[in-house]
Structure 1
Amino acid sequence: MKLEMATAGSISYYFSTAFLFVLAFNLLSFQAMTASGQEANDDDLIQFALNLEFMEAEFFLHGSLGTGLDTISPSLTQGGPAPIGAQKANLDSLVAPIIEEFGYEEVGHIRAIVTRVGGFPRPLLNLSRQNFAKVFDQAVGFNLVPPFDPYANSVNFLLAAYLIPYVGIGGYVGVIPNLTAPANLGLVASLLGVEAGQDAVVRALLYERRNQKVFPYILTVAEFTNQISALRNRLGGSGNKDEGLIVPTILGAENRTSSNVLSADPNSLSYARTPAEILGIVYGTGNATMPGGFFPLGANGKIATTVRT
C-alpha cells in the first residue's frame, strides 16, 4: 500500500475532498435525470461511452489509414457530422499497424454498444492539429513553438493517443457498479478489457522512449505524460486519478517503483471517473455543462445533453 501522512492538515484535506466528491456525484445524479424524471438507466450509462468510442475510432482510423467511419462502417455514424481536422499521421512501421488495429477494435466497440443498447449519431469531433496543440499548451502551461502536431510522427501520435483511451477506462470502471443487468455488466467488462489493453500498449511504447526529448521541444516523453495526466486531474476536479510514466516512489506500486507503466490507485486498482468528470476533461473546460475541446457542440446521449440543459 502507498504510505499516507496523517497530519491534521492532510486529514482535513481528505475529508474536504471526500465531501466535495460526494456532493459532485449527487449533483451529477440529479443532472443526469431523464425527461421522465427517472435516473439514468443501464442503456443511458452505456450509451454515454459511445462518445469516447467515436472519438477513438476516428482518431485511430484516420491516423493509420487516412479515412474514418464514413468509409469503414458508415451506418454506425447514423448521419453524424464528419470529424474536424482528422488526418493520416506519419507513423513508422511498428506503430502504424498497432494504431490500425486499435481503430478496427473501436469499430467493433461501437457496433457492440449499438447492438446491445442502441445508439445516437456521431457527435461533432475536433481532432485537428490546432485543437491538440491547444490541449498540449494547456498541459505544459505555455505555448509550444512550433505548435504541437499529433500527426507529425509516431512519438507525437502516441502522446496524443495517451490523451484518449485512459479517460474511457475510468468511465467504464465508474459505470460498472451502477449497472443492473448481467448482460450489460458483461458487455462493459469486455469493453474495459480491450480499452485497458490499448492504453497499456500506448504507455509501454512511450515508456520505452521515456527519456527521449520530443523534438523540437525541451521536454521528454515522460515529462509530457506527467503534464497531460496533471491536466486531466485538474479538469476532472476530483483529485489524483491519473499519473504519468515516471512518478515519485510514494505514488509507485507498493511505494517501491518510480516506473508507472500502468496508472493505478494505492492498491493498484484502476481509478473510476463519473460522466461529469469525463465531460470536463474532453471538453477541456473542467465543466460538464460547457462544451469545447474535442466536442465543440457537446457530447451526445441522454446523460450529456441533460447535463448541459
Structure 2
Amino acid sequence: MARISPAYLLLFICFFFFFPSSSYAYFNVSSSDKDLLEFPLNLEYLEAEFFLWGSFGYGLDRIAPYLTNGGPPPIGVTKANLDPFVKDIMVQFAFQEIGHLRAIKEAVPGFPRPLLDLSKGSFAKVMDEAVGHTLTPPFDPYANGLNFLLASYVIPYVGLTGYVGASPKLTHSQSRRLVAGLLSVEAAQDAIIRALLYERANVKVQPYGITVAEFTNRISELRNRLGHSGIKDEGIIVPPLSGAEGKTGGNIVVGNDKSIAYERTPKEILRIVYGNGDEHKPGGFYPKGGDGRIAKSYLQESGSST
C-alpha cells in the first residue's frame, strides 16, 4: 500500500478546514433550488456596489472584477461623505457582500452583474414616493452619514425577507445551509443599520424637517404598498401594541406578532426594487430588470427584455 507523505496529509487537512466554502462548489441541486439560489445575486450585486462605492469611491470592477462576469458598471454611484465610524461599518458590509457573491457563485453558475441605477436621482425618487411629495433639495444618499444610513435602510432588509421566503422551498440540505448563512449576516446588517438609526430616531433630517423615525416608517410603508402582500415591513418605532409582545414601541429588529421574520417571494421583491409595484416592468434600481431565470420569466411575460 502506498504511503501518504505527512506533508501531503497536512496540506489536505489545512485545505479541508480552512477553505470550507469549497463544500458549496456546484453541488448537485434541483433546477428550482438553482433558481432560488441565483435570484438573490440581483440584491447582492446591488448591496456590494452600494457599500463599496459609498466607502471607497469605487466598486467591484476594481476590487473583485472576476465577480462581475462582464456585467455593466452601475449608474451614478459615488463615494459618500461618511464619518469614520459609519465608514468603518460600511467597509465591513462591503466585504461581506463580496463574500456573499463568492459563496453563491461557488454553488451555482450565477449570472453577470445586471445594470444598476444607484444614482442620487434613483434614491431621491424612492424617498419622494415614501414621504408623498417631492423633497427639496432632492434627497442625496451620498451627502452625509445619516443620509447614507437611510439609503442603506432601503436595501438589506428586502434581501433578507427573500432568504426567509426561499428557505422552506429549498430541497437540498446544502442549499438550505447556504441560505441560512447568508440570511444570518444580512439580518445582522439590517439590525445594525436599524440600531444606528434608532439612536437618532428623533433627529430631524435636514433640510426636510422629517425625523429619522418617520423616514423609516414611510420607507417601510412604501415597500408594503409596492409588494402588494400586506404588512411585511415596519419602521424603527411603532405603536407599543405593534411591538414585541405588545409591550414596546422600539422596533430595532422587525418581526411579526410572534417576532418571527417576515418572508417575501421573488415576485414581491421585484415589485419593490423596480419601484413600481410590477414585477413585469423594469425600473428603479434595475433599469433593464433583474437577471436569472425567475426575474427573466416575468420580463418575458410582458415582452420586456434585459
Relative to the length of structure 1, the TM-score reads 0.87
Matched, 1:199 2:185: no
Gaps of 5+ in 2: 1-29, 301-306
Name which of 44, 48, 67 aligns with 1:76. Answer: 67
2:55 aligned residue: 64
2:151 aligned residue: 160
Cα deviation digits, residues 35-55 of structure 1 (max 9, x gap): xxxx96101111000000000
1:118 to partner: Cα distance: 1.5
Name which of 77, 92, 103 aligns with 1:112. Answer: 103
1:250 to partner: Cα distance: 2.1
Q: Residues of 2 paired with 1:288 and 1:250: CA distance?
A: 33
Q: Residues of 1 paired with 2:66 and 2:200: CA distance?
A: 39
Higher Cα radius of gyration: 2
1:254 aligned residue: 245
Matched, 1:213 2:204: yes
2:39 aligned residue: 48
Name which of 127, 137, 140 aligns with 1:136. Answer: 127
> Are residues 227 and 40 of structure 1, via their aligned partners in 2, closer, same or farther at CA, if it must alter by over 3 Å?
farther
Cα deviation digits, residues 31-85 of structure 1 (max 9, x gap): xxxxxxxx96101111000000000000000000101000010010000000001
Matched, 1:267 2:258: yes
Relative to the length of structure 2, the TM-score reads 0.88
The alignment partner of 2:210 has SS state of coil
1:28 aligned residue: none
1:308 to partner: Cα distance: 1.4
The equivalences for 1:91-102 within 5 A come to: 91-102=82-93
Aligned length: 271
Deviating runs (4+, > 3 A) in structure 1? none
Higher relative contact order (CA 8 A, sep 6+): 1
Matched, 1:290 2:252: no
Matched, 1:243 2:234: yes
Cα deviation digits, residues 85-130 of structure 1 (max 9, x gap): 1110000011001001100100000000000112101000000001
C-alpha RMSD over aligned residues = 0.8
Letter in 2 for 1:242: D
Name which of 170, 189, 195 aligns with 2:180. Answer: 189
Gaps of 5+ in 1: 1-38
The alignment partner of 1:124 has SS state of coil
1:85 aligned residue: 76
